[in-house]
Amino acid sequence: MKYCFYIILIIFSLSSCVSTKKLNNKKNISTIVNKARTYIGTPYKWGGTSSKGMDCSGLLVRSFQSVGINIPRTTSEQIYLGKKVNLKKSKEGDLVFFAFGKKKRKITHVGLISDVKSNDNIDFIHASSSKGVIETQLIREYYLRRIRVIRRIL
């Protein structure tokens, strides 16, 4: 009988954590996006993770840390996070991965979807090697041709 009480207590505790997590996801996503926006204008620096300079994956590391989520440091590791989603079903907080190099399949860049107004009006934040951290329109031929996958962590 004593063990049944503990089992019920554990199940209740876990179920309440899950529902709290779901309720906090929208708030967490908003916090992550807002943190990423604070870096707009930061110069690009390969391997950088501070307001003095940062790269694309460093931007995401710092943004997710704002809600206590530690994600891998590199784009090649971040590509395995969460679940794959279609561009038309993408939401704020999703990660969008690109191949910009000579190898069309090699993931070389990542950004954070920051606003979805409609299927053809989506903004994302990323650390551009030429412009630093910027928020820009995703639905442009330049970016669309290079998207390889979109993944949802939260």
Identify the active-site residue in 35, 62, 126, 151: 126
- Whether 109 is catalytic is yes
- Whether 27 is catalytic is no
Identify the active-site residue in 56, 71, 110, 150: 56
Identify the active-site residue in 59, 109, 111, 112: 109
- Whether 41 is catalytic is no
d(CA 93, CA 115): 8
Of 64, 55, 72, give the one whose Cα is nearest residue 131.
Answer: 55
CB 144 within 8 A of CB 128: no
Which residues, 6 or more positions from 58, have their beta carbon under 8 angstroms from its beta carbon?
47, 48, 49, 73, 127
Residues annotated as part of the active site:
56, 109, 126
